[in-house]
Structure 1
Amino acid sequence: MTVAVITIVKGRRSHLRAHLSSLTRSDLRSVDHIVVAMGDPSVKTTVEQVNSPAHVVDIEHSAAEPLPLAHARNIGAAHALHRGADILVFLDVDCIASPQLVQRYRTAAKRNDCASALLCGPVTYLPAPVDGPSAINILSSFRNPHRARPTPADNRITKSENYDLFWSLSFAVTASTWRSLPGFCEDYAGYGGEDTDFAWTARAQGVGLRWIGGADAYHQFHPVSDPPLEHLDDILVNAHIFYRRWRRWPMEGWLRAFEEMKLIEYLAHEQRWAIRKRI
């Protein structure tokens, strides 16, 4: 079964280099790599500099607009299918792939109980930047998967009913299952909500959710705020889109945190969140 790894990116040059390098350590037989550059011509240069066989797809994006994450993933999937992929692996540019990530997803996708499911692997968030290509070889010693999500042992698979735990930074799906879904909803733009929406859409259509032991990825360090203040506007817009589609608020932890910081307020009579104070 042919696997295509799909990565979307803008900027993140050092992260992209480590990401590309990690995939060269994987079993690359029958593996294609689609890198979707969102308005960033330097991506193709970076791919060439590390001698990666990745196929770069350029889409337009204005710096003044939120990143078209949902659209970029859909474009990447379309190119992967056109190039003959049987399995789609979506891997965030911030993620370094473990040597066995591709093979664990491929093996799982062949199982009858996983062929029509979303397949998610464990992700370890690294506490510091990766220092050079040689550091990639010792990442397993830092393995500490996110505690809020299932972490099956290597070569084990765990079934889950909690679709809120789905994340788009590392997951796989068979081509037939992807075609049965409408893809990521492109009403969303910028940060937050589109991956949970994708998971809820899958659940509504009877697509399962499985956690794949051994399909480990390592999320590279970069400064973040908690809650993510720099994404406040995107999160608020996307939260309202999600509410209109599902009659439930997503990202409630962040919304409540913004509320406690007196940045937003909930207008109950209008059933919406509103900006109270600009940062």
Structure 2
Amino acid sequence: MGTIVLLPIGVDDSALDRCLAALDAGTPAGTPVWLADDGQAGPRAQAVIEHWLANTPLHAEYTRRARAIGEVAHLDEMLRACAGSDVVVLAPDAVPAPGWLQQLEACCARDASIGSATPWCNAGETAAWPRLGEINPAPDDLRAMAEACAALPALHPELPSAVTHAVLLRANARRKAGGLDMHSYASWNAALIDLSLRMAGLGWRNALCETAFVARAGESQAQDGDMEALATRWPAWQPRLASFLMGDPLLQAREALQQLHRQAIMPRSQGDLFGSPAAPDPESAV
């Protein structure tokens, strides 16, 4: 079995609708996708899911708990059910660009030391584009964004931790680091950061997959006490995070992506202004 996409269902049915449409448009047919609902989805969200399940080309399943057990315990249950498989945890308001999953898989295949791979995101904190640490507007054309990302050199620099708009977790690293800590954290994004830091402690890298992009309206929000719990357990993490944001080691990569993105959208802009030109010969592309 290939990588499994895990989608913990939230309460925003409009965001979920956008996420599912983007999954269909940008993910290979037959990809296993698990929508897991900790009793959160309302009637409209359930209707969105039911319609999507009937039409998606993906190999999708939907489960719903009759009684909520909490988002960290729920995601941990999902991860344990997928033991032995690489998984991508995707935020329910994320909008993946075309090719996102293939690029994440290729990232992990290039480097056996990668425990987690995080794509660029307009609202991705340390993986944010075009401005680091900010909530930037989502790109208008995700296909052009995907083309620009795919043209970057695949260097996969290290991040201070995983970022949870979308993160691929290697099965072996996840197994050795253990499950999510449902007793210390109330939000699954904080619990995933903790897991990625445990992976790093065992020698795996939390890498940026600069060849992939996943859009999002905003950053994940930790619940009360989560950041304090992370700081207590990992006292070096927040200083490292602050140093990363101030030092901006990804500046050159972001600027290169900015240039490639301009090039990717240029033919579309010219076509809008001057009429649609004949399609270029792909064999002549450099």
TM-score normalised to structure 1 length: 0.66
Long gaps (5+) in structure 2: 124-134, 242-286
Are residue 242 (structure 1) and residue 230 (structure 2) matched? Answer: yes
Are residue 38 (structure 1) and residue 26 (structure 2) matched? Answer: no
1:57 corresponds to: 63
Which letter does structure 2 place at the counterpart of 1:246? Answer: W
Long gaps (5+) in structure 1: 146-150, 254-279
TM-score normalised to structure 2 length: 0.64
1:122 corresponds to: 120
Within 5 Å, give how 1:201-212 maps onto structure 2.
Answer: 201-212=198-209
1:80 corresponds to: 82
Query: Aligned match of 1:48 in 38, 47, 50?
Result: 50
Tell me how many residue pairs correspond in the alignment.
223
Distance, in Å, in 1 between the alignment partners of 2:115 and 2:157 is: 10
Q: Give aligned-pair identity as a percent.
A: 14
Are residue 185 (structure 1) and residue 181 (structure 2) matched? Answer: yes
Alignment check: 8 A CA contact 2:17 2:48 kept = yes
Distance, in Å, in 2 between the alignment partners of 1:49 and 1:249 is: 43
Distance, in Å, in 1 between the alignment partners of 2:138 and 2:38 is: 24
Which letter does structure 2 place at the counterpart of 1:189? Answer: A
What secondary structure is seen at the aligned counterpart in 1 of 2:211?
A: coil
Point out the structure with the larger strand share: 1
Quote how far apart the aligned CAs of 1:252 are: 11
Within 5 Å, give how 1:1-279 maps onto structure 2.
Answer: 2-29=2-29, 31-42=31-42, 43-50=45-52, 51-52=55-56, 53-59=59-65, 68-81=70-83, 86-111=85-110, 113-114=111-112, 116-125=114-123, 138-140=141-143, 154=152, 156-160=154-158, 162-164=159-161, 166-187=162-183, 188-190=185-187, 193-220=190-217, 234-235=223-224, 237-247=225-235
What secondary structure is seen at the aligned counterpart in 1 of 2:87?
A: strand
Distance, in Å, in 1 between the alignment partners of 2:138 and 2:97 is: 16
Alignment check: 8 A CA contact 1:163 1:203 kept = no
Distance, in Å, in 2 between the alignment partners of 1:155 and 1:100 is: 16
The CA RMSD over aligned residues, in Å, is 3.6
Distance, in Å, in 2 between the alignment partners of 1:157 and 1:129 is: 24
Quote how far apart the aligned CAs of 1:219 are: 0.4
Quote how far apart the aligned CAs of 1:31 are: 1.5
Quote how far apart the aligned CAs of 1:175 are: 1.9
Distance, in Å, in 1 between the alignment partners of 2:153 and 2:50 is: 34
Distance, in Å, in 2 between the alignment partners of 1:156 and 1:57 is: 36
Distance, in Å, in 1 between the alignment partners of 2:176 and 2:114 is: 9
* Deviation readout 1:24-50 (Å, 9 max, x if unpaired): 123424520011212125444321222
